[in-house]
Amino acid sequence: DVKVTQSSRYLVKRTGEKVFLECVQDMDHENMFWYRQDPGLGLRLIYFSYDVKMKEKGDIPEGYSVSREKKERFSLILESASTNQTSMYLCASSRWGIAYEQYFGPGTRLTVT
Amino acid sequence: KNEVEQSPQNLTAQEGEFITINCSYSVGISALHWLQQHPGGGIVSLFMLSSGKKKHGRLIATINIQEKHSSLHITASHPRDSAVYICAVPTSNAGGTSYGKLTFGQGTILTVHP
């Protein structure tokens, strides 16, 4: 079974803090994704990586950066957290290609106060 | 960019009812995904289909490529089917290759009462 794990289920941070969200997959997938999910807005892609050290901006990259130093690990970084970044963050992975399903992690509920 | 529309946005049913959720998209695709998210839970893939129909237990997914439309049906619905159901299609870009990126519908919130 494919397993995608995220470092925290719940996280509370203060405005201005640097926040790291980690995601690890165990199926040697090339693609990894970071999404945020907000009520009424659905899933929105923040960043995408198709190989180690390769990244591509998604629909809402502002205020975020990512790091992929190893194939199995994809990190999302909030350089200076703001209250409008309070959200559910979901990581996913898939094989490279146009017709492979994505496997999702359990999500991290981030609250910025 | 592929636009994905789901309907209805909210659906309430009584246990045992037949449920239909619809998904329409604007650009031709190679495959369409149906996903399920239980409250507080992660997202799991239910189906990936490129033509015709697929069945898994009480869930049936159909797709009409010409009409750019897919439906997810639940027969004999049960309260444990209460979840958000999400339709997704490969993201199209100028290069024509999405590398596996998906564009998601807004989701349909299904509540099944006993």
What pLDDT is recorded for position A97? 74
Burial status of residue A95 (CB atoms within 10 A of its CB: 0-12, 13-18, 19 or more): middle
Find the CB nearest A96 among B42, B90, B100: B100
Side chain identity at A77, as an amino acid letter? I
pLDDT single digits (tens) A20-60: 999 999 999 999 999 999 988 889 999 999 999 999 999 99
Instruction: Tell me whether residues B45 and A103 touch, CB distance under 8 A.
Output: yes
pLDDT single digits (tens) A49-82: 999 999 999 999 999 999 999 999 999 999 999 9
CA–CA min distance B56, chain A (Å): 16
Q: How does DSSP assign A4-59, residue by residue?
A: EEES-SEEEE-TT--EEEEEEESS--SEEEEEEEETTTEEEEEEEEEETTEEEE-S
B93 shares contact with chain A (CB less than 8 Å): no
Find the CB nearest B98 among A43, A95, A98: A98
Task: Give CA B56 to chain center in angstroms.
Answer: 14
Look-up: residue for tokens 């604007």?
B26
Question: What tokens appear for B36 in the block?
Answer: 């399920």
A91 shares contact with chain B (CB less than 8 Å): no
pLDDT single digits (tens) B58-88: 999 999 999 999 999 999 999 999 999 999 9
Q: What is the rounded distance in angstroms from the CA atom of residue B98 to the CA atom of residue B95?
A: 8
